[in-house]
Amino acid sequence: MKVIVGVSGGIAAYKAAELVRALQRQALDVQVVMTAAAQRFITPLTFASLTGHRVITGLWTEPEGGGNEGVAAEPGGFRSAIDHIEEAGSAKALVVAPATANLLAKFAVGIADDFLTTLYLATTAPVIVAPAMNVNMWEHPATRANLEVLQSRGVKIVPPEKGYLACGMTGSGRLAEPAAIVQAVLAQLQMRNDLAGEVVLVTAGGTREAIDPVRYLGNRSSGKMGYAIAEAARQRGARVILVTAPTSLRPPAGCEVAPVVSTAEMRDAVMSRLHEATIVIKAAAVADYRPRIPADQKLKRSGPLTLEFEPTEDILSEVALRRRPEMLVIGFAAETQDPLAHARGKLSRKGADAIVVNDVSRPGTGFDSDRNAVTFLTANTAIELPEMTKKELAERILDEVLALRRPASLVAESGLVSSRAEEPE
Ligand code: PMT
């Protein structure tokens, strides 16, 4: 989920770097926008390095310069304000910290003379402003009136704190702590925190088994499903360990990432972190076989080739065997025929609490698609989760995983049971 952090020109601008980090720890993807005055206090490069995105510094971002030197140019080179406003439109919130008296005044009267003020008028996302200024400016009737206007238009104000100010005076005007600003952002985003206290270990992507130094046996997993689950779990307050086979995706912010290549590496990474996990979700597509002895050198073409395979470690079964009593173990199953029957077999053989069943023969879903449709299968229930985006599905899967934690009586009381198709014994 993307949020925009707008930085205006006050001494507290350097504290925005800490805010960016705190937002990233909530798995939020942060894009920074700076006013010209802000760039006098802190460089765009600081924020570009923290976020991995070029900072938007003006209405007309030049292909070189703009203080982003050293950060890879975005594809397309020159970007116009319209491009940026469109892109910013996908952000779920605009957070301005610090917001100067000047910026509050511009927001209040609708002056749009730079990118940040233009974006404020253009965005339909929630706006949160954290003012910081000299105490007299903060208490000035003009500032109070501007704040009232903004509040009446639904802008969330995170008031400054009292303390010693950079101008040498003591009083209100010091930028609120990052934690308070983050809390306001999360409240505006209405993010659920129902996985707080859980440690969710997610595996994602497709493992690769070496045939020789240049070739491998792989599969079509893109990692999208596993990454979506990791991101959603992080956003719902869990600590997330993401054990990932190679993918072309950027890991979701705030997750602890353990990159692996082969099934054996994935097994070791999972087992070494298992003692921390309270929920394990195995979305990775894992090789069932690997070449028994990979060739030392690149195999040369010379007639038919026979390779001998051996079974790999069954990670899911081992996890289920070594689970602590409170741990939930969720597997996935990618099936091309009779999905439920095969998945039911896997559920009991592997000892998981639930199996998320994909029919990967269904067009437009499953491997590498942005959409998926699954059945969440437990020993007693088979819950159909119809086709939706993998991000939406990740939320629904986590809802079902959490429902496994609740006593059956509570599930029945909440009416959730009515949406479940009970499986015959
Ligand atoms: O990555 P995407 O492109 O978004 O695609 C998503 C997906 C289709 C890969 C994913 O949703 C999925 O179905 N993952 C499981 C694929 C798979 O390996 O299924 P399986 O039926 O072969 O394995 C069953 C379960 O055992 C899986 O949880 C798997 O992680 C686990 N397993 C399998 C083999 C093995 N040696 N060790 C394991 O732990």
pLDDT digits (tens, 9 = 90+) for 26-42: 889 999 999 999 999 99
Least confident of 41-50, 71-80, 258-267: 71-80
The bridge status of strand 161-164 relative to strand 170-174 is antiparallel
Topology, domain 2-189: Rossmann fold (3.40.50)
pLDDT digits (tens, 9 = 90+) for 260-304: 999 999 999 999 999 999 999 999 999 999 999 999 999 999 999
User: Which residue owns the Cα nearest ligand 1 atom 26?
Assistant: 316
Locate the domains of the chain by residue range.
Answer: 2-189, 199-422
Span from the CA of 48 to the centroid of ligand 1 (angstroms):
36
Ligand 1: atom nearest CA of 205 is 1
Q: How confident is the model at residue 76 (pLDDT cuts 50, 70, 90)?
A: very low
Least confident of 76-85, 110-119, 254-263, 351-360: 76-85
pTM of the model: 0.73
Confirm whether 2-189 and 199-422 share one CATH topology.
yes
Pocket test for ligand 1, best of 224, 286, 323, 377 (most atoms within 8 A of CB): 286
Span from the CA of 2 to the centroid of ligand 1 (angstroms):
28
Q: How confident is the model at residue 417 (pLDDT cuts 50, 70, 90)?
A: very low
pLDDT digits (tens, 9 = 90+) for 187-217: 888 878 899 899 999 999 999 999 999 999 9
Ligand 1: atom nearest CA of 228 is 4
pLDDT reading at 247 higher than 90: yes
pLDDT reading at 381 higher than 80: yes
Report yes or no: 160 and 174 within 8 Å, Cβ to Cβ: yes
Phi-psi region of 173 (alpha: psi -120 to 50; beta: other; left: phi over 0): left
Tell me the CATH number for domain 199-422.
3.40.50.10300
Ligand 1: atom nearest CA of 319 is 39
Span from the CA of 287 to the centroid of ligand 1 (angstroms):
9
Among residues 11, 105, 167, 180, the one annotated as catalytic is 167
Spatial neighbors of 390 by CB under 8 A, at least 6 apart, are 224, 225, 228, 369, 370, 371, 372
Q: Annotated catalytic, 167?
A: yes
R_g of the chain, CA atoms, integer Å = 26
Q: How confident is the model at residue 422 (pLDDT cuts 50, 70, 90)?
A: very low
Per-residue model confidence (pLDDT) at position 68: 59
